[in-house]
Amino acid sequence: MNIILLGPPGAGKGTQARKLVDERGMIQLSTGDMLREARTSGTEMGQKVAAIMDAGELVTDDIVIGLIEEKLAGDHGGGFIFDGFPRTLAQADALGDLLEKYGTGLHFVIAMEVNDDALVQRITARSTCGNCGEVYNDITKPIPADNKCTNCGASDFKRRADDNEESLRTRLMEYYKKTSPLIGYYHCKNQLQWIPGLGEIDEVAAQINAVLDD
């Protein structure tokens, strides 16, 4: 089973994807994580995308489609969770073609409904464990008092360079201009399922599981 998690920055796609990996053995394909890895390891591509990402703009379709294709050629595990991809109609078309090429398809597109005020609050309060990627929030899920990650015990917490108000405004505009048309695209293909994204992490997870088990 292959699914897309669709929603604006801060909707909780990454948090839910991690739960699906743990609970269902699915494979999370986050183009944002892949691009951040390319930056950290200092590849030529990573250097090229750094300024674009920090400003909150989208990198070119060619780059992210190439990253996804590499992964689809590998192990399919319990299915793929596309997180932060596709983000444009061209990427959506490319994904459809690639899945067909690798003899599989797309089963659900889960659109996470949230409001913009909640997004700003979530993103400006966000940090992650640099070792395992566990997501924390200053208000709703603070870093433990002993400064150790609840998941892996490491003490290396990071804030993303693009998690500031100005980049976030650009990211939201990019989402509404370029990504939100995918809602109509997948609705037309009868693949879209809305779920409320604002509840507790486990409540949202239960809604997603209900869709997948339907």
Interaction mask 148-187, ligand ADP, x per CB under 6 A:
--------------x--------x----------------
Annotated catalytic residue 24 = no
Q: Which of residues 71-110 bind ligand ADP (CB under 6 A)?
A: 84-85, 87, 91
Number of Cβ within 10 Å of residue 94's Cβ equals: 20
Annotated catalytic residue 87 = yes
| Length of the chain counted residue by residue | 214
Piece of 31-39, 103-111, 123-131, 174-182 that binds Zn ion (CB under 5 A): 123-131
Q: From 72, 77, 74, select the one nearest 22 (Cα to Cα).
A: 77
Q: Among 5, 10, 134, 192, which residue interacts with Zn ion (rule: CB under 5 A)? A: 134
Query: Alpha-carbon distance 119 to 1, whole Å?
Result: 29
Query: Tokens in use for 67?
Result: 């990253």
Using CB under 5 A as the binding rule, whether residue 152 contacts Zn ion is answered as yes
Annotated catalytic residue 171 = yes
Using CB under 5 A as the binding rule, whether residue 21 contacts Zn ion is answered as no
132 touches, from ligand ADP, Zn ion, none (C-beta below 5 to 8 Å by class): Zn ion
Annotated catalytic residue 71 = no
Residue nearest to ligand ADP (CB): 32
52 touches, from ligand ADP, Zn ion, none (C-beta below 5 to 8 Å by class): ligand ADP
Beginning with the edge strand found earlier in the chain, give each strand of the sheet holding 27-30 in spatial order: 27-30, 80-83, 3-6, 108-113, 192-196
Interaction mask 29-48, ligand ADP, x per CB under 6 A:
--xx--x-------------
Annotated catalytic residue 126 = yes
Using CB under 5 A as the binding rule, whether residue 129 contacts Zn ion is answered as yes
Q: DSSP strand E in the chain: where? A: 3-6, 27-30, 80-83, 108-113, 126-129, 135-137, 157-158, 192-196
Name 203's Cβ contacts closer than 8 Å, sequence gap at least 6: none
User: Phi then psi for 62, rounded to 5 degrees?
Assistant: -55, -45
Query: Alpha-carbon distance 143 to 181, whole Å?
Result: 36
205 touches, from Zn ion, ligand ADP, none (C-beta below 5 to 8 Å by class): none
DSSP 105-149: ---EEEEEE--HHHHHHHHHTEEEETTT--EEETTTBPPPTT---
Q: Which residues bind ligand ADP (CB under 6 A)?
A: 9, 31-32, 35, 52-53, 56-59, 64, 84-85, 87, 91, 162, 171
Q: Which residues are the active-site residues?
A: 13, 87, 126, 160, 171
